[in-house]
Amino acid sequence: MRAVVFVVCVLACAVAHADMEAAFEQAREEAAAGDGDAGYRLGQHHYHGKGTPVSHAEAAEVWRDAAEAGNADAQAALALLYRRGEGVEADPVQAVRWYEQAAAQGHAGAIEKLPKAYYSLARAHLKGEELERDHVRARVLLERAAAAGHEKSQGVLAKLYDGRYTRSEDVDGLEAMYREPAEAGHAVAQAKLGLLYRDGVGISKDDAEAVAWLRRAAEQGNAEGQAALAAMLAAGRGVEADPEEAVAWYARAAEQGHSGAQSNLGLMLVHGEGVAKDVPEGLKWLHLSSEDEHTSRSALFRLEQDFAEADRAEGRRRADAWQAAHPSAASLR
């Protein structure tokens, strides 16, 4: 009985193999005649070794022919080979190219994988090893992926806007990287562009332009923009000095946990600059900024000696109460 079963299995395998070889030959003939669907099937035979030995290089070749003829399945398959480096040298640029072409035809798999391909290409541009270092191109790619809901792209994009990928050699390209999203209303980019104008980094120094961009960011609730705008108003840079408005913007940023704003607000309160003098409230903010060492504890100790013990104690009490009410407030720089 076992012998019979064995023979049946052998015969079945032989028939299946013959069928695969026949399917392979048919796909090859039809692909040679210009049938794109057959070209995709032929690539599958080469990739999986059905009716022919496994060859990713052969799969890449036939999928490229079919992809260039407009077959969406072949375009998506070829993109995957470029992403993985199977049968071809890994190339994130080509992966994006072919995924985009397949996605444009409504290919569901390509539409799903395109954001990840954008992310990979953006990272390559940020690293600047295999491809030219290009923050602007990386930003565009990350924005596309982030808009599609790709979480890693959203995180990297936030870091990119925050300047965490910036090196000294990137200075000349910063204005180009921030301008488009700033003009589109992105608050972080607006704040960064304002700071470039303020400091003259990679762009001509322009205090009035700096104030304009910082105000846009501040009005959207960006703490960095609020603190920087307050400093410009306090110093009268690019705008008429207005200590009262400076206090108002420092207060908004301070409430978000911006340690620099907390420090400056505290000093204005204890000295009564632009606001009614309020020593306990000023010391409160100075204590909070000292938690992030923006105001040194030794400097705070020396300053406190100028005030009554009751004011010092009340300042510490208010600081403790604020911290208790804002357990997750991140201290910003």
Instruction: Give the tens place of pLDDT for each residue, 140-174.
Output: 999 999 999 999 999 999 889 888 887 767 787 88
Report yes or no: 286 and 270 within 8 Å, Cβ to Cβ. yes
Which of 182, 197, 231 is the C-terminal boundary of a domain? 231
323's CB contacts (< 8 A; 6+ apart) are 288, 291, 329
The total number of structural domains in the chain stands at 2
Cα–Cα dist 273/102, whole Å: 62
Check whether residue 255 and residue 325 sit in a common domain: yes
- Cβ burial 209-218 (10 Å sphere, 16+ → b, else e): bbbbbbbbbb
Q: What predicted TM-score, i.e. pTM, was given to this entire model?
A: 0.72
Provide the residue range defining the domain that includes 326: 242-333
Can you read off the two tokens belonging to residue 326?
A: 């804002």
Ramachandran region, residue 278 (left: φ > 0; alpha: ψ -120 to 50; beta: rest): beta
The DSSP secondary-structure symbol of 284 reads H
Check whether residue 266 and residue 329 sit in a common domain: yes
Assigned domain for 163 exists: no
Report the pLDDT value the prediction gives residue 105, as an integer from 0 to 100. Answer: 95
Cα–Cα dist 258/263, whole Å: 9
How would residue 2 be classed by pLDDT, with cut points 50, 70 and 90? low
Residue 89 has pLDDT above 50, yes or no: yes
